[in-house]
């Protein structure tokens, strides 16, 4: 019996091995072999854009550069289907593509595409939009920030499988009707375009649409006539910064599933009464920039409201209904007309994490805030007294802005241990800044400017490896230059203006590096000494090379938690001005108002990103370095009130962005550089020198060559013509001169008496 079973067992094993082998071979082939025709299409698409342009953003990536026929695994941004080998996903966000995407582009041969993202590329025509209707398998289409113009083409309605569509940040106009047939659409993003006219109610009744973003368009007229079904699945509606008039909340209150609503900054003259409306599902409500009414009634809306934005609403009394919002975690009531003391019940809201009270008229002492608070903005009020020590118990406090108030006393020693951003500028704080900054801290911004702080800088600041902005301006700090900050890896801004700092700013033992520095303002102190020629050689990369920044993070603080954007005061073009937002590309060096001497280092020309350079009111001597002409981004240059001598380098005339230059009160001579920008400056920019001439001064640079009486001046012939004229003169005058000499000799030989009488010799 056993022998009879052996052949059957052997056959079974053989068949099993064949099946397994076939399975593994087919699996390996399906996983490793994209279809050759798909590879050819991708390479053809790559050849349509042979020169990627990555000047758009720091985060741009020329993904198509990796596409090669030799290595099919190198197709960055491409996903092939494991079974069929066709391209199903093309993710080319910020791929540095620019030029013309033609209607016959290879892109439209990728018929199996389900996901296409071309956002943040710049094609010079929008005609390709029509051809996208051929990609009927698309489920996700992202075309934001591409400079698209014109109307949404009707061919878009062919994309019946589309679930997400983004056309935001373009210049699109016209009708929404091509979108109505996209019945599977769940998310529609059309913000930052030029759509106008009535709001299309048909969008709200699309069967699967849950998110609509139409912020910053030109939609107008009233919503009162809108008759949308209450069964809409819409959960998020963003209509901020449009031009709606009339009553706009009542019609939208029919959307029973709505969770997030943005109606900020509309054109309506009707006060918004949202307290008594249903909105049973609402969680986040933004009504900024509108007139609000009936704020002292009880809240009848959703008990789940989590964030409420009522800033810039001209409110003059604190809304009592907020007391009932036990799940509220963000309240923004800034930029109103609120006065008096903050109600104590506000600090008892159990879920409150973030509070905006800035730009009101609150007074009195700062109340004890909720222990769970993570960020608090209370600037530009009239709070007074000491900063409460209760802040030391705030374990989660990340951002604290108490600037522009009347706080007095000293800075509590506990504040630097956990906060990420601490702004105490423009108060009456005094005493020494506590030495409290440890290595475990996450401090990114410290601003105590315009107080009465004395003593030295806390040396523990050297432990703050996350520190980006340090502002100590207008205090009474007495210290030497903080060489010990030079290696902080993220330090972008140093402002020490108007203190009592003294001593040299150069030390051979401590060469400055500042790896990420953009702005250094040490003006109006008592710094002294000279600077070596190579002083700026090792300065930060962003100052030497223009930093590329992403459009979403253009300003310092864009990446801070809770979107806190700092501001600073700087001197630019001879004026003190506030930068409410600090561009990451804004580069400044201000050493003015000190006692620096010696020559201006030639290495200053390495800082090619500089926008503002101010070395005025020092004792610099020698010549102005010609390397300044390499600062092609320079807009403001001030070298006034020094002891500089010699000529102003003519090369400065090539600085096309230079709109302010002050060379007054030096010992300069010679001609002012010729350029439209410099010639249009006021005369005061060059006064107080020894002998400057040229525009904008009236003194001409060629006085010694000006004839005493006006005569017609013949144009000066070219050099070759001058040589020919001299030869002609020699030919013409030569024989005459020889003949005259011969006649004089004859007369002298035969009539000597007559010769002497004629010439009185």
Q: What is the DSSP letter of 25?
A: H
Residue-wise pLDDT tens digits, 140-183: 999 999 999 999 999 999 999 999 999 999 999 998 999 999 99
Confidence (pLDDT) at 1: 39
Residue-wise pLDDT tens digits, 243-284: 988 777 877 887 888 999 999 999 877 777 777 677 888 999
Q: Residue range 580-605: average pLDDT?
A: 93
754 by Cβ neighbours in 10 Å (0-12 / 13-18 / 19+) ranks as: exposed
Sole residue written with tokens 């053989």: 14
Q: Which helix (DSSP H) or strand (DSSP E) does residue 738 occupy?
A: helix 719-750
Q: Where are the alpha helices (DSSP H) in 425-582?
A: 541-544
| CA–CA distance, 687 with 36 (Å, rounded to integer) | 74
More confident residue, 493 or 717: 493
What pairs with residue 446 in β-bridges?
A: 422, 470
| CA–CA distance, 145 with 169 (Å, rounded to integer) | 5
Q: Residue range 602-609: average pLDDT?
A: 94
Confidence (pLDDT) at 714: 40
Q: Which of 347, 353, 306 is nearest to 325 (CA)?
A: 306
Residue-wise pLDDT tens digits, 72-130: 788 999 999 999 999 999 999 989 998 888 889 999 999 999 999 999 998 888 888 89
- Name the phi and psi angles at 746, rounded to 5: -65, -45
- Write out the DSSP string of 218-283: EEEEESTT----TT----EEE--SSEEES--HHHHTT-TT--EEE--S----SPB--TTS--TT--
Residue-wise pLDDT tens digits, 24-75: 434 333 344 799 999 999 999 999 988 877 765 555 788 888 898 877 788 9
Confidence (pLDDT) at 77: 93
Residues 327, 376, 419, 541: what is their CA dihedral angle, to the nearest 10 degrees?
A: 110
Residue-wise pLDDT tens digits, 388-415: 887 877 778 889 999 999 999 999 887 7
Region for residue 737 given its phi and psi (left: phi exceeds 0; alpha: psi -120 to 50; beta: otherwise): alpha
Q: Where are the alpha helices (DSSP H) in 357-444?
A: none
| CA–CA distance, 455 with 432 (Å, rounded to integer) | 5
Confidence (pLDDT) at 755: 30
Sole residue written with tokens 């109600």: 343
Q: Residue range 728-755: average pLDDT?
A: 38
Question: Strand, helix or coil at 101?
Answer: coil
- Write out the DSSP string of 33-80: ---HHHHHHHHHHHHT--S----S-TT---GGGG-BTTBGGG-TTEEE
Alpha-carbon 413 to chain mean position: 34
The b/e string for 361-391 (b: 16+ C-beta within 10 A; e otherwise) is ebeeebbebbeebbbbbbbbbebeeebeeeb
Confidence (pLDDT) at 72: 77
Q: Residue range 555-576: average pLDDT?
A: 76
Global confidence as pTM: 0.81
| Domains in the chain with CATH codes | 27-194 (3.80.10.10), 480-703 (3.80.10.10)
| CA–CA distance, 205 with 212 (Å, rounded to integer) | 11
| CA–CA distance, 437 with 52 (Å, rounded to integer) | 46
The lowest-confidence range among 338-347, 380-389, 415-424 is 415-424
Confidence (pLDDT) at 151: 93
Residue-wise pLDDT tens digits, 659-710: 999 999 999 999 999 888 888 899 999 999 988 998 898 878 865 444 443 4
């Amino acid at each position: 019996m056993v022998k009879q079973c052996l052949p059957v067992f052997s056959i079974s094993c053989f068949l099993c091995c064949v099946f397994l082998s076939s399975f593994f071979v087919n699996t390996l082939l399906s996983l490793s072999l994209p279809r050759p025709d798909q590879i050819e299409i991708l390479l053809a698409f790559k050849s349509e854009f042979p020169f990627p342009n990555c000047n758009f953003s720091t985060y741009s990536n020329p993904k198509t550069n990796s596409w090669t026929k030799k290595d099919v695994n190198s197709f960055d941004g491409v996903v092939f289907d494991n079974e069929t080998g066709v391209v199903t996903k093309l993710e080319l966000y910020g791929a540095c593509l620019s030029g013309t995407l033609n209607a016959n582009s290879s892109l439209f041969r990728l018929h199996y595409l389900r996901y296409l993202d071309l956002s943040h590329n710049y094609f010079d025509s929008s005609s390709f939009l029509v051809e996208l209707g051929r990609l009927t398998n698309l489920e996700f289409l992202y075309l934001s920030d591409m400079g698209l113009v014109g109307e949404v083409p009707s061919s878009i309605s062919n994309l019946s499988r589309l679930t997400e569509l983004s056309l935001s940040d373009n210049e699109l106009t016209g009708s929404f009707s091509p979108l109505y047939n996209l019945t599977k659409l769940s998310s529609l993003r059309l913000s930052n375009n030029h759509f106008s006219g009535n709001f299309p109610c048909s969008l709200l009744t699309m069967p699967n649409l849950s998110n609509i973003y139409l912020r910053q368009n030109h939609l107008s007229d009233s919503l009162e006539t809108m008759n949308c079904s209450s069964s809409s699945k819409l959960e998020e509606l963003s209509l901020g910064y449009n031009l709606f008039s009339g009553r706009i909340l009542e019609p939208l209150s029919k959307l029973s599933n709505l969770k997030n609503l943005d109606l900020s900054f509309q054109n309506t003259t009707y006060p918004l009464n949202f307290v008594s409306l249903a909105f049973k599902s609402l969680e986040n409500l933004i009504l900024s920039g509108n007139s609000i009414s009936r704020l002292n009634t009880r809240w009848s809306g959703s008990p789940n409201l989590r964030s409420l934005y009522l800033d810039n609403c001209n409110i003059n009394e604190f809304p009592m209904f907020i007391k009932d919002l036990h799940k509220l975690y963000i309240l923004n009531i800034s930029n109103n007309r609120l006065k008096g003391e903050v109600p104590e019940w506000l600090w008892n809201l159990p879920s409150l994490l973030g509070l905006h009270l800035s730009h009101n008229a609150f007074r009195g002492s700062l109340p004890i805030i909720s222990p769970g608070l993570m960020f608090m903005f209370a600037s530009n009020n009239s709070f007074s007294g000491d900063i409460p020590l209760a802040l030391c118990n705030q374990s989660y406090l990340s951002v604290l802005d108490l600037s522009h108030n009347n706080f007095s006393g000293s800075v509590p020693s506990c504040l630097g241990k956990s906060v990420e951003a601490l702004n105490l500028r423009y108060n009456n704080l005094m005493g020494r800044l506590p030495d409290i900054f440890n290595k475990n801290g996450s401090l990114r911004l410290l601003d105590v400017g315009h107080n009465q702080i004395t003593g030295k800088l806390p040396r523990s600041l050297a432990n703050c490896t996350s520190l980006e902005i340090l502002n100590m301006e207008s205090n009474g700090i007495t210290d030497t230059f903080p060489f010990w900050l030079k290696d902080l890896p993220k330090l972008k801004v140093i402002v020490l203006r108007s203190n009592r700092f003294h001593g040299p700013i150069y030390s051979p033992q401590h060469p400055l590096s500042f790896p990420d520095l953009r702005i250094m303002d040490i003006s109006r102190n008592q710094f002294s000494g000279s600077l070596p020629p190579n002083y700026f050689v090792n300065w930060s990369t962003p100052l030497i090379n223009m930093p590329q920044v992403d459009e979403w993070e253009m300003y310092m603080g864009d990446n801070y938690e809770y979107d806190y954007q700092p501001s600073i005061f700087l001197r630019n073009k001879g004026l003190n001005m506030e930068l409410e937002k600090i561009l990451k590309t804004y580069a400044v060096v201000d050493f003015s108002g000190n006692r620096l001497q010696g020559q201006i280092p030639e290495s200053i020309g390495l800082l090619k990103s500089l926008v503002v350079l101010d070395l005025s009111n020092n004792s610099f001597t020698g010549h102005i370095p010609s390397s300044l002409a390499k600062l092609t981004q320079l807009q403001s240059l001030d070298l006034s009130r020094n002891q500089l001598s010699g000529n102003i380098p003519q090369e400065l005339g090539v600085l096309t962005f230079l709109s302010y230059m002050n060379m007054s009160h030096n010992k300069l001579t010679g001609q002012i550089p010729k350029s439209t920008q410099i010639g249009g400056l006021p005369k005061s920019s060059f006064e107080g020198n020894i002998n400057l001439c040229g525009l904008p001064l009236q003194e001409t640079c060629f006085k010694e060559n000006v004839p005493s009486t006006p005569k017609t001046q013949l144009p000066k012939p070219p050099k070759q013509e001058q040589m020919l004229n001299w030869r002609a003169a020699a030919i013409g005058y030569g024989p005459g001169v020889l003949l005259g000499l011969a006649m004089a000799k004859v007369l002298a030989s035969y009539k000597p008496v007559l010769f002497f009488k004629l010439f009185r010799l």
